[in-house]
Amino acid sequence: MKNERIWKRCLMGILAVGSAVALSASVYAMGGQTEAERAQQSRDAVAEEELTAENSMDTRALSPNRWAKIDGKCYNGSGQVIPGAITRGIDVSFWQGEIDWDAVAGDNVDFAFIRAGGYGGTTYDSQYVNNMKGANAAGLPVGVYYYSTAKTTEQALADAQWVIEKMRGYKVSYPVVVDMEDGSLTSLSPTLLSELAKTFCDEIEKAGYYPMIYCNTNWYKNYLVPSIISGIDVWIASYGDKIMAPSGNYYTIWQATDGDGGGTMNPTMGLIDGIDPYNNVDIDFGFTDYTKIIVPRTAPVSTYEPTVDPSKKNGFVTENGYKYYYQNGVKVKGKWVKDNGKYYYFTKNTGLMVTSTLLANSDKSVIYYVNRYGERVTNLLGTVNGDKYYFGTTGNAVRGWKGTKGNFYYFNPSDGKMVKNKFITSSLGTRYVKADGVMVDTYGTFDVGKNTYFALGKNNGYFIQKGWLQTKAGNWYYFTLGTGIMLKNTTLTNTAGYTYKFSASGRCTNKI
């Protein structure tokens, strides 16, 4: 895991003499260091007994149960039951290539850790998106890890915030991990290294995710201070075909393999369905079932606000007379920012704060308005470019009927604009909105142009009358079934041949 290298397996068939030579693959999920660093870190993590001749790899008699989980029992590399282990998982990165996650999930794998990225950069692991989508689709519980090279708490904080942003939209149901093992960090003090890990984990927890630290046994003993990282779960690395999990109760997950341990262990090629059989994969065993602890989430908690680094530009900054917004020294561009309970939008290209503008997505399913102060307005009936809108509790323009301050209005479902001087018909009936957009809501007649209609009032849904209507005075009137127009100075003959007569006021003069 610490070494992100791959020795591609090559087959050179020498058919003439009937022999072949195979170079086995060593695939590691984490890291990406120099060869010298990889070699050193492999020596750090491989258990001491694996470096002795009597305990070195022996491919002649591999146990069929090695690194397996069978009937709820987990087995080590020599086929012995691992006391206390209850789950089996894998950790992967781009080194495993394309993965068939349905096959993985069907091979008694309980969880997977997927590499998001690392090295203080802002670049995904090249298989991160595919792996997250595939594992989510297969229903496999997923955690995320980040390979840290941070040497300051500011960078550790920025790394955590990057990971939080890149997890949006993916279901994360296992811990989010900071990988502490890079050789460039060993010159730092254990206190600082511990503070770096804690800074990362604190931000992850603040966002509503479950934090964890990954390291090997050497790092835990010599480079971290337990009192500083107290309360943060540990994923420990210790490799060997014949060993059991490290002693002690300071960790909850054991990474038991690292490919072939740089040549010191039997390879794990072909052990997990769905992983390219020419690639090794790390095998992990859990002593805690995180599916019983963690509530899966696809986004940070709604209350999450990224922690501010006071040494960098933060918040609103005026430059050359224009307003911008910074988060930990980075100018915000192309997104909304919540500040002091209000939302502001900043342009994609320059990061300039938008003011007095209607903002909509491509299909206009979301329409917001920001006022002259740049604030996204809410619960407001307002006019923009001559059109009226009602911006609701989230700021999105309301569609359909909306009541406010005693009046009802209708807003076009396609663009949110207020409708005026129009009959609005649904399966329940027809209502009318006047020139000011206010719906006719009083009981009685009203005129539109030369035509008269009758509104039925609140008790009848404010619909207009269609068909016969008898008033409290006992008079009869008739309103056309299609449009609801009152008949005046005319006659109406029914299917039985009887003709009704209507006066200039619309009263039927011969209906009993």
SS (H, E, C) 72-133: CEEECCCCCECCCCCEEEEEECHHHCCCCHHHHHCCCCCEEEEEEEECCCCCECCCHHHHHH
What is the number of alpha carbons within 13 Å of residue 363 lying toward its C-beta?
2
pLDDT at position 21 is 29
Rounded (to 5) percent helix, strand, coil in the chain: 15, 30, 50
In the chain, list all ranges with CATH 2.10.270.10.
315-411, 421-502
Whose tokens are 């692991």? That residue is 125
Give the phi and the psi of residue 443 in degrees, each rounded to 5.
-75, 125
Identify the H or E element spanning 217. Answer: helix 217-222
What is the number of alpha carbons within 13 Å of residue 424 lying toward its C-beta?
23
What is the rounded distance in angstroms from the CA atom of residue 367 to the CA atom of residue 357?
10
Asked whether the CA dihedral 144, 132, 292, 295 is positive or negative, the reply is positive
Contacts of residue 144, Cβ cutoff 8 Å, sequence gap at least 6: 113, 114, 115, 116, 132, 163, 167, 172, 176, 177
CA-to-CA separations, 334 to 168, 331, 347, 372, in angstroms, rounded: 16, 10, 5, 19
pLDDT at position 122 is 67
Phi-psi region of 239 (alpha: psi -120 to 50; beta: other; left: phi over 0): beta
One-letter identity of residue 11: L
Phi-psi region of 340 (alpha: psi -120 to 50; beta: other; left: phi over 0): left
Strand partners, 353: 346
pLDDT at position 511 is 85
- Cβ burial of 212 (10 Å; 0-12, 13-18, 19+) is buried
Q: How is domain 38-49+64-292 classified at the architecture level of CATH?
A: Alpha-Beta Barrel (3.20)
pLDDT at position 485 is 98
Strand partners, 239: 46
Could you tell me how many residues make up the chain? 512
pLDDT at position 176 is 98
Tokens representing 433 are 């909105």
pLDDT at position 61 is 66
pLDDT at position 12 is 28
The answer to whether residues 388 and 382 touch, using CB atoms and an 8 Å cutoff, is: yes
Looking at 318-460, list the stretches that DSSP marks H as alpha helix, in order from N- to C-terminal side.
none
pTM recorded for the entire structure = 0.63
pLDDT at position 310 is 78
pLDDT at position 482 is 93
In the chain, list all ranges with CATH 3.20.20.80.
38-49+64-292
Of 124, 126, 127, 167, which Cα lies nearest the Cα of 144?
A: 167
What is the rounded distance in angstroms from the CA atom of residue 146 to the CA atom of residue 488?
79
CATH top-level class for 421-502?
mainly beta
3-class DSSP assignment, residue 407: strand
Helix 190-206 to helix 153-166 angle (10° resolution) is: 30
Quick one: fold of 315-411? left handed beta-beta-3-solenoid (2.10.270)
CA-to-CA separations, 280 to 19, 24, 36, 78, 110, in angstroms, rounded: 24, 9, 21, 17, 18
One-letter identity of residue 478: Y
> How do the pLDDT tens digits run along the chain, 512 residues long?
544 433 333 332 322 333 332 323 333 445 444 444 444 454 455 544 444 334 444 544 688 999 999 999 999 999 999 999 999 999 999 999 999 999 999 999 999 999 999 988 667 899 999 999 999 999 999 999 999 999 999 999 999 999 999 999 999 999 999 999 999 999 999 999 999 999 999 999 999 999 999 999 999 999 999 999 999 999 999 999 999 999 999 999 999 998 777 777 889 999 999 999 999 999 999 999 999 999 999 999 999 988 988 778 999 999 999 999 998 888 999 999 999 999 999 999 999 999 999 999 988 999 999 999 999 999 999 999 999 999 999 999 999 999 999 999 999 999 999 999 999 999 999 999 999 999 999 999 999 999 999 999 999 999 999 999 999 899 999 999 999 999 999 999 999 999 999 999 999 999 87
Three-state SS string over 10-52 comes to EEEEECCCCEEEEECCCCCCCCCCCHHHHHHHHHHHECHHHHC
